[in-house]
Structure 1
Amino acid sequence: MTQAPPALSLTQLQQLQKAAFIAEGPVGADVRAQRLQQVIDLLVEQHQALCQAMGEDFGGRPVEFSLANDILGSLASLKHARDSFRGWLADSPREAVKPFDAYGASAWVRYQPKGVVGIIGTWNAPLFTLLSPLACAFAAGNRAVLKPSEIAPRTARVLADAVAQRFDPQVLAVVQGGADVAAEFSAQAWDHLVFTGSTAVGKAVMGAAAKNLVPVTLELGGKSPVLVSESADIAAAAERIAVAKALNSGQLCVSADTVWVHASRLEDLLQALAAQYGALFPSVEGNRDLTPVIDARHFARVQGYVQDARSRGARVVEVGSASSGQDRRMPLALVVNPPADCDISRHEIFGPAMVLRTFERIQDAVQRINDGDRPLALYYFGSDEQECQWVLDHTLSGGVSINDVAMHPALHDAPFGGVGASGMGHYHGREGFLQFSHARAVYKAGGHDPRREWGMLPPYHAQLLPTLLASVTP
């Protein structure tokens, strides 16, 4: 298989794919299916090496989580696209211009691939954030270049080597490097750019893309809230919240950040959360089931958030045995009603800590949530259907799970994405296919054009203006 020359620059690689895309012409369904299957085969063949690399990048990430989240999660996206995309390809008939439709005119929308898609992944889900959007990009008929996170370099190397062995770089390629490469990547004239990461970096990526008028899909994050209603089963809610927070030690963009609970039920929830999380991780340091914080910088960041809240008078309950931090495993910190201006209140936590806040009326909690940026996820626990509907009607987030946490991203036939500060655009399912397709309007004239005989062409017939004015109706 032809490989990209070693000295091929990022710009040259993007231009190489664009030229190949133009030369290829229409991208048939069999070609799309074959490309999707190649990625599936790659993951199946390399799953052990990739899981080992992810474990090493994290300094001890459980292979079970890497396999479930990044390998099987990516395979689910790819297989759903492979098995479903043919049903998404058909033109969409639309109503033609009246009255020309009476003379045979017709109209439709044709979905065509945009061309070359750049995809920047993140370290917390180093495969899923690359390959799940790739599934939609390939289903839509595009080519792609992937930029893995430099914070997970071993995973990036294994993926890059596997892709180079199985794909012509004119179809799919991987580029590696640090922040300088990511900045250069964002500045390319892609036909579409996908970025997963923080809101701050997302703004920089969007700014760079805007210089070339590149459309973007941004998958960001935010302080995803949990509303625990008075009607909620506290034991069940605590279990679901604890289990979800345990995933990757809270290092997920849809992880629960702030839990809102009625003041009268705070202590019950606090105790239940501590019991549930403690049962999952009876020990902290050296526990192979507990994912370490990715690196020393992020460990210090999360630790600093908790210490700042404690120094400002917030109550902090740590779940799990004390840890020296040598292996970057941390107990879960439950921070109760911290001041609004402290670090843990203002920044996405993205680690093993969680804020608990109390309310007297759920409407007040919703108001506080709406006063902040729109989150990537929102969670509601309760059995009051009317109240649940009220919460859905009066909040806006990327997605929602009801009586559970972090489950809606697993819906491969529903769009995953953010809104406002938590992102824009989406992937997964047909909506992801549409995201990476150009919806092209097509009009086809009928066999006869009556405009001249109707006096609609210059010189205008005297009755044309009265006829047009008569059509100006409410």
Structure 2
Amino acid sequence: MNHPARIQSPSIQDNDPLTALFDAQQQAVLVHGAPNYKQRMADLEALLQLIKANHDVLIETVCKDFGNRSFAETKLSELMPIVNGIKHIRAHLKSWMRPSKRKVGMAFKPATARVMYQPLGVVGILAPWNYPLTLTLIPLMEALAAGNRVMLKPSELTPHTAELLKRLLGEIFPAEQISVIIGDASLASRFSELAFDHLVFTGSTNVGRHVMAAAARNLTPVTLELGGKSPVVIGSDFPLKKAARLVVIGKLFNAGQTCVAPDYAMVPRHLVDTFAAECLNAAKQLYPSIQGNKDYTSIISPRHYDRLMKMIDQAGAGGARIWQNGMVRGTDERKVPPTILTNVPLDADVMCEEIFGPLLPVIGYDNLEQAIAFINARPKPLALYGFSNDSAFVDQLLEQTRSGGVTINGTMLHATQDDLPFGGVGNSGTGAYHGYEGFIRLSHARGVFKLSRFNMSDKVSAPYGAMTRLVTRLMLGQ
């Protein structure tokens, strides 16, 4: 799309390579227009074959960036959702692209109305480090399905994966269709200042505020996938041992470095210690050892490792009970052991910040109303988890809380469903994507109204007379 009145940040110069790439993609939109169904399907197939052909190197490269990233977790959380997502889009794209018929008001007949879905133009994607393939390539494939051109900025914390994606995508897509931008946080800031037709950002709430402010200068619409403190509420009717295992599976996946990971658990007050012990037992079964265990993922960087250790120390100093199967500090592996925290001060960092690590505070509650009030007194989370087989309990929890998404009697699985929207609300984000919602989010819904040859709408005009009185009387029921 052409942006003759683009507001440009002082940090972006006209001869800047970033601007040059952006301008080249804009020009390609003007020259080539919207890709047809056949071209979009071919692009998605090329992306699918890229993943399949480079399966092993992608897994190994992500592992290298983390220090240790479980191969199984990369397959389950990165490659599988990408492959399944592309297949889902390809199976439905023709129907999604088809214009949808809409009704015409009685006073405007004979006429037709329809909605056409057109590409927005150039889409920017700012991706995070915790799932460097999924959170880069799923927005990409949905942007391609909608017919857009794309500029990608992977995280600087996963540099090897970023370089690999730049090389692989550059081998099959021209730069004016897909460009991968490599650089640090300052480049990401400049990236967010470009006048994209849409900007997708996944990351922390604090950084999301800066991204949204930068985009606002160009009136760029944004999809913000943020995070927050996603709560778990355990009902007294649900088997406690089973609930603990399911919560721990979600909490320790990717060592808790997941935006929809359970952040804290709310348990009937008399079951707090029992639940904590069951969580620790479940963690031991899942990961009999931590150091040297290839299934247990490392914390991404020394800074993030230190942050988590300080959270534990601060909570302990404030009176929290720390439940662990053993603590090893300062190892080269940057592995934080599964840690359950009870009696946690509510002003401790672990209860005020998104944890993004394998720490789980457990909070006691006396009744469901109290648990709901606790959740609602805090910013709306990206995810909510309830464990109960009592439909009244579940209905009350769903009706009286707000969150981006929900899984009942499990964790995180709602985010893996191709036919469910994924997105936040309030502080946890704005906008949703995945599957159909991704196609719609990255398309322009263009309303088209066509008058019939025999339409007499021109008769309702000044000087207003009998025809105008008749039409208004009929429409207003007078």
TM range (shorter): over 0.9
Deviates more, 1:15-24 or 1:204-213: 15-24
Map of 1:3 onto structure 2: none
Map of 1:284 onto structure 2: 290
> Residues of 2 paired with 1:95 and 1:289: CA distance?
55
| TM-align CA RMSD | 1.7
Corresponding residue to 1:94 among 92, 98, 102: 102
Map of 2:70 onto structure 1: 62
Contact 1:132/1:427 (CA < 8 Å) preserved in 2? no
Instruction: Note the 1:425-444 alignment, pairs <5 A.
Output: 425-444=431-450
Q: Write out per-residue CA displacement over residues 274-320 of structure 1, whole angstroms, 9 at most, x where no aligned residue.
A: 10001112222222221111110000111111111111111111234
> Residues of 2 paired with 1:445 and 1:60: CA distance?
63
Map of 1:41 onto structure 2: 49
Map of 2:10 onto structure 1: none
Map of 2:463 onto structure 1: 459
> Residues of 2 paired with 1:45 and 1:188: CA distance?
33
Contact 1:285/1:323 (CA < 8 Å) preserved in 2? no
Deviates more, 1:76-85 or 1:260-269: 76-85
Q: Alignment partner of 2:433: what SS? A: coil
Amino acid at match of 2:20: Q
Contact 1:221/1:375 (CA < 8 Å) preserved in 2? yes
Instruction: Note the 1:335-414 alignment, pairs <5 A.
Output: 335-414=341-420
Map of 2:272 onto structure 1: 266
Map of 2:127 onto structure 1: 121
Deviates more, 1:279-288 or 1:49-58: 279-288
Corresponding residue to 1:85 among 68, 93, 115: 93
- Aligned-pair distance for 1:39? 1.1
Contact 1:281/1:320 (CA < 8 Å) preserved in 2? no
- Aligned-pair distance for 1:25? 2.2
Q: TM-score, normalised by structure 2?
A: 0.94
Seq. identity, %:
38
Map of 2:242 onto structure 1: 236
Corresponding residue to 1:257 among 236, 260, 263: 263
Q: Alignment partner of 1:413: what SS? A: coil
Distance 1:461 1:166, change over 3 A: same
Does 1:151 pair with 2:147?
no
Distance 1:451 1:249, change over 3 A: closer
What are the ranges of 5 or more consecutive residues in structure 2 without an aligned counterpart? 1-14
Q: Alignment partner of 1:138: what SS? A: helix
- Aligned-pair distance for 1:364? 0.4
- Aligned-pair distance for 1:163? 1.1
Deviates more, 1:318-327 or 1:260-269: 318-327
> Residues of 1 paired with 2:477 and 2:107: CA distance?
17
Corresponding residue to 2:188 among 182, 187, 193: 182
Q: Write out per-residue CA displacement over residues 415-455 of structure 1, whole angstroms, 9 at most, x where no aligned residue.
A: 111111111111111111100010001010111343465xx
- Aligned-pair distance for 1:269? 1.0
Deviates more, 1:341-350 or 1:40-49: 40-49
Map of 2:34 onto structure 1: 26
> Residues of 1 paired with 2:458 and 2:90: CA distance?
50
> Residues of 1 paired with 2:195 and 2:476: CA distance?
44
> Residues of 2 paired with 1:291 and 1:141: CA distance?
36
> Residues of 2 paired with 1:131 and 1:452: CA distance?
50
Contact 1:310/1:316 (CA < 8 Å) preserved in 2? yes
Contact 1:94/1:107 (CA < 8 Å) preserved in 2? yes
> Residues of 2 paired with 1:451 and 1:152: CA distance?
60
Instruction: Note the 1:220-235 alignment, pairs <5 A.
Output: 220-235=226-241
- Aligned-pair distance for 1:470? 7.2
Q: Alignment partner of 1:442: what SS? A: strand
Q: Write out per-residue CA displacement over residues 78-119 of structure 1, whole angstroms, 9 at most, x where no aligned residue.
A: 221122211211111111243231xx3111111111111111
Q: Write out per-residue CA displacement over residues 131-163 of structure 1, whole angstroms, 9 at most, x where no aligned residue.
A: 111121111111111110000001111111111
Contact 1:80/1:412 (CA < 8 Å) preserved in 2? yes
Amino acid at match of 2:29: F
> Residues of 2 paired with 1:327 and 1:55: CA distance?
12
Map of 1:50 onto structure 2: 58
Amino acid at match of 1:193: L
Map of 1:214 onto structure 2: 220
- Aligned-pair distance for 1:49? 1.6
Q: Alignment partner of 2:423: what SS? A: coil
Contact 2:461/2:468 (CA < 8 Å) preserved in 1? no
Q: Write out per-residue CA displacement over residues 56-96 of structure 1, whole angstroms, 9 at most, x where no aligned residue.
A: 11111122212221222222222211222112111111112
- Aligned-pair distance for 1:17? 1.1
Q: Alignment partner of 1:378: what SS? A: strand
Does 1:298 pair with 2:304?
yes
- Aligned-pair distance for 1:328? 0.5
Amino acid at match of 1:67: K
- Aligned-pair distance for 1:473? 5.7
Map of 2:321 onto structure 1: 315
Q: TM-score, normalised by structure 1?
A: 0.94
What are the ranges of 5 or more consecutive residues in structure 1 without an aligned counterpart? 1-6
Contact 2:319/2:343 (CA < 8 Å) preserved in 1? no
Q: Write out per-residue CA displacement over residues 226-274 of structure 1, whole angstroms, 9 at most, x where no aligned residue.
A: 0001111111111111111121000000101010000121122111111
Q: Write out per-residue CA displacement over residues 381-436 of structure 1, whole angstroms, 9 at most, x where no aligned residue.
A: 01111110111101111110010011111101111111111111111111111000
Map of 2:21 onto structure 1: 13
- Aligned-pair distance for 1:9? 1.1
**How many pairs are equivalent?**
464
> Residues of 1 paired with 2:72 and 2:462: CA distance?
74
Distance 1:54 1:447, change over 3 A: same
Q: Alignment partner of 1:99: what SS? A: helix
Corresponding residue to 2:335 among 326, 329, 343: 329
Map of 2:423 onto structure 1: 417
Does 1:74 pair with 2:82?
yes
